[in-house]
Amino acid sequence: MRASFRAEARPIEQPYDIAFRADVPPPALSLPQVSADPILVDAQADVDISDSAFDFVRSIRVFEITYQQRRNSDGDCNSWGTVYLGSYGEQGGYSRRRSGISAVPEASDFGVPPDCGNYWHRSVFVEWRDYEGSYGHEEVHY
């Protein structure tokens, strides 16, 4: 059996050593007083965003993409995919509906491979136009 001992703590370990030492009392905490009364929240904002100045909110589109492709033991190419497209309405309410793979923007790195190999893609792709009309996007794989 082998064992080793480090005489010096690494810098990241020092705060833990100080915080959990038995001979040092814990630091005093001062917490703000919080009311226990519930805060009622309305289902909708009190701001009217139907003006064209808020078109950037309505330009946001959210794509939930799931796609799988593989060749089965018989040599057939099997593929399966779902795409949901979400958007924001006149007052900022979010809704989504089923869409198709062809609706996914070119800016996404999703693409059906030309050959039938094992391929799996799962992501959320968001695109928008800012208040100046510039295009932006972000994709998160999970």
DSSP-assigned states of every residue in 35-104: --S-----SS-SS---SGGGHHHHT-EEEEEEEEEEE-TTS-EEEEEEEEEEEE-TTS-EEEEEE-GGGS
**Would you say residue 56 has pLDDT above 60?**
yes
Instruction: Tell me whether residue 3 is in a domain.
Output: no
pTM here is 0.64
Q: What is the pLDDT of residue 53?
A: 83
Residue 6 is classified by DSSP as: -
List, edge to edge, every strand of the sheet that includes 135-141: 94-99, 77-88, 61-71, 119-129, 135-141
Instruction: Tell me whether residue 43 is in a domain.
Output: no
Mean pLDDT of the chain: 83
Mean pLDDT for 35-45 is 63
Structurally, the chain folds into a number of domains equal to 1
- Distance in angstroms (rounded) separating the CA atoms of residues 44 and 97: 21
Instruction: Tell me whether residue 39 is in a domain.
Output: no
Mean pLDDT for 37-58 is 74
Report the percent of the chain where pLDDT is more than 90. 46
Instruction: Tell me whether residue 130 is in a domain.
Output: yes
Residue 62, domain extent? 52-141
68 in Cβ contact with 81 (< 8 Å): yes
**Would you say residue 1 has pLDDT above 90?**
no
Backbone angles phi, psi at 96, to 5 degrees: -140, 155
